[in-house]
Structure 1
Amino acid sequence: MSPAVEVRIARLDDRLAEPLVRELTHEYVTRYGPGGHTEMARYTPEEFAPPGGLLLLLLEHGEPVAGGAYRRHTDPGTAEVKRMWTHSAHRRRGLARRVLTELEQAAAAEGHRRIFLTTGSRQPEARQLYMAAGYTPLFDLDAPPGALHPLPFEKHLTDRRPAAPDPREALAP
């Protein structure tokens, strides 16, 4: 049986987020060259902090194993997912899907009606994740691999807040 996974809200500049930043930067630089550093420095930690954003980490035994964030997008009612990451030793366990689901639920609870995100053409596993999670590609799926960069996706969110209890149930014996 695998250990319990704890969901924790953090800041991008928190000590707990350091493995996310370090490994994600390495991943971007490995796949895209020096521009990976530019991408990781593009947004301030405040953009991923409430009230406009959120950074979530999944922890096992107090250590981060996956994470992701969203920030307020320029379109009203839209959250933009960024910084999706799963520790290299913990991939293929469904953790990225869990992070994405947690971010969608949090964004919907904050009143966002849509999620927008981009991934790179050199991240086929991310492309597969977003397609499997119900995201609509906003690019030509028939374009040759690597011809497009970035690859934008969107997903319209439904109201995921729990329904109010039926008052008649309170009267039942």
Structure 2
Amino acid sequence: MRIVPVGYDHPDAKSLDGQAQQEYLARYGAIDLTAMDPAEFSPPRGLYLIAYTPDGSPVATGGWRAQDLNEEGYADGDAEIKRMFTVEAARGRGLARRILGMLEESARAAGRLRMVLETGLKQPEAVALYLSVGYAPAPKFGLYRHEPYSQCFAKPLT
């Protein structure tokens, strides 16, 4: 597998985002309405990655964007993980773990202090991944911080 940085507005990113949204719809009955500007994922204040199979098919994705202290509960120096997603046929190969490691490395190199993310109770495989690599439950933040199914996690990058 080849993992490369792309713009959040890249056609393959849009395709994988659409697939992720369909999964959210199936699991939660709604898509994720979090506002995301492609510019937020541009270095040095962000990064967006896609994993490709040897034949060039996009199969996994993830990104981070800088966040700082604001009314949605972020802290200065945060890097927020967004759109971690692997197509069903490619799951179980460690792609999400590899992408997550690359995102953490990039955010650390950019001087971010803490990686944060929000997921939900109906994504137990995501929760298991984050716990397995050192994330811990954190106070809720972001658009869905008041929803009962929302779960937030954080990991120091220093």
TM-score (norm 1): 0.77
Offset of 1:15 from its aligned partner? 1.4
**Are residues 1:20 and 2:10 paired?**
no
Offset of 1:49 from its aligned partner? 1.9
**Are residues 1:7 and 2:3 paired?**
yes
Please point out which of 29, 32, 38 is paired with 2:33: 38
Instruction: Trace 1:14-163 onto structure 2 (pairs within 5 A).
Output: 14-34=10-30, 36-39=31-34, 42-61=35-54, 62-74=56-68, 75-138=75-138, 148-158=148-158
Structure 1 residue matching 2:111: 3-state secondary structure: coil
Q: How many percent of aligned residue pairs carry the same amino acid?
A: 42
Deviations 1:78-136 (A, max 9, x none): 10001001111100111111111110011111111210111011111111110001101
Aligned residue type for 1:33:
G
Determine if contact 2:66/2:112 at 8 Å carries over to the other structure. no
Which whole-Å CA distance do the structure 1 matches of 2:154 and 2:17 have between them?
A: 24
Which structure shows the higher helix fraction? 1
Structure 2 residue matching 1:85: 3-state secondary structure: strand
Which whole-Å CA distance do the structure 2 matches of 1:68 and 1:99 have between them?
A: 7
Structure 1 residue matching 2:50: 3-state secondary structure: strand
TM-score (norm 2): 0.84
Instruction: Tell me the number of residue pairs that the alignment of Structure 1 and Structure 2 aligns.
Output: 144
Structure 2 residue matching 1:13: 3-state secondary structure: coil
Determine if contact 2:115/2:157 at 8 Å carries over to the other structure. yes
Unaligned runs of 5+ in 1: 140-146, 159-173
Aligned residue type for 2:62:
G
Q: Which protein has the larger Cα radius of gyration, Structure 1 or Structure 2?
A: 1
Unaligned runs of 5+ in 2: 69-74, 140-146
Aligned residue type for 1:38:
L
Backbone CA RMSD of aligned residues: 1.6
Offset of 1:59 from its aligned partner? 1.3
